[in-house]
Structure 1
C-alpha cells in the first residue's frame, strides 16, 4: 500500500498552525504593538470572523454528511465535491485564513494580518500537498477531474 493511501499526514498541521500563529501574533502584539486603527476595522473583522466560521461549519457538515473525516491527518473515505467544496478544494483552510484576518481586524492586531500569508504558505507546504497526493492515490481520475473544475484556494 502506498504511504499516501492510508492517511495524508501524521500531524494535524492546519489547526496547529492557526493556533500557534494566532498565539504568536498575540505575543508579538504585547512585545511590539502593531495597531490597526482605522474606521470600520472592528465591524469588518466581525463580518470576516462570522463568514469564516460559517464556511467552516458548512464544510464540516458537508464532510460529516459524506461520512468522511474532518481531521486533516486522517484518511479520506469519500471524495467530497459538493457544498463549499464546489467553490474551493480547501474551504476550511481558506476560512482559517479569513478567521485570522478577521480576528486581526477585530482586535486591531496587525501581527495577525501579517501572519495570514505565512499560515497559507505553511498550510500549503505541510498539509495541502500531502492531502492532494492522498486524494490522487485514492480517487485517481475522479480527483484529477475535480481539480480541473475547482480551484485549490479561491
Structure 2
C-alpha cells in the first residue's frame, strides 16, 4: 500500500487529547492551589485582566469552532480534516482552540493570584505540542501539502 495514501487517510489522533490535557491542567491548578498555594501579588487589576483573558479565550474558542463548521471540516482533533481552514482566528494562530485553553489557565492564575496555573499553562503547551500538535501538523501536511507549508510560514503555531 502507498505510504502517502495511508498518511492522507490516517486520523491525526486516536483520542481527542487536547481537551483532556486542558481539563487535567485546570483541575490540577485548583487542587494544587488548595494543597500547596503559590500565592502571587494580585488585586483588582490582576483579577480584571484574568477575567478578561478567560472571556477572550472563550470567544476565540467559539469563533474557531464556528469557523471550522463553516469550512466543513472536523472539529474534534481525532477526526481527519476535510479542508484546511486559514480564515477567522486561524489567520492569527494555527491552534486557536488550544490557545484558548492556555489563555484560560493564565486567566485563572491572574484571577486567583496563584502561580500553579502559570506552571500548568507552560506544561500544557509542552505536552500538547509533543502529544497532539505535531501529530496534527503531520496529518495536515499529508492532506494539504504545499498549501499547509505556506500557511505554516505565515501563521505561528501558538502566537
Instruction: State the TM-score bracket (shorter-chain normalisation).
Output: over 0.9
- The Cα offsets for residues 43-63 of structure 1, whole Å up to 9 and x where unpaired, read as 111010011111111111100
After superposing the two structures, state which structure 1 stretch, 12-21 or 108-117, moved more: 108-117
Q: Quote the RMSD (CA, aligned, Å).
A: 1.3
Indicate the SS of the match to 1:140: helix
After superposing the two structures, state which structure 1 stretch, 33-42 or 47-56, moved more: 33-42
What TM-score, normalized to structure 2? 0.91
- The Cα offsets for residues 103-146 of structure 1, whole Å up to 9 and x where unpaired, read as 12112232111211100000100111000000011111111111
Q: Does 1:122 align with 2:115?
A: no
Q: 1:143 to 1:107 in 2, by over 3 A?
A: same
Q: Give 2:18's match in structure 1, choosing from 14, 22, 26.
A: 14
Q: CA deviation at 1:4?
A: 6.0
Q: Give 1:5's match in structure 2, choosing from 9, 16, 25.
A: 9
Q: How many residues align?
A: 154
Q: Give 1:137's match in structure 2, choosing from 129, 142, 148.
A: 142
Can you give the 5+ residue segments of structure 2 that lack an aligned partner in the other structure? Answer: none
Where does residue 153 of structure 2 map in the other structure? 148
Runs of 4+ in 1 over 4 A off after TM superposition: none
Where does residue 95 of structure 1 map in the other structure? 100
Q: Give 2:85's match in structure 1, choosing from 80, 84, 94.
A: 80
- The Cα offsets for residues 27-72 of structure 1, whole Å up to 9 and x where unpaired, read as 1111111223323121111010011111111111100101111111
What TM-score, normalized to structure 1? 0.94
Distance 2:9 2:150 in 1: 19
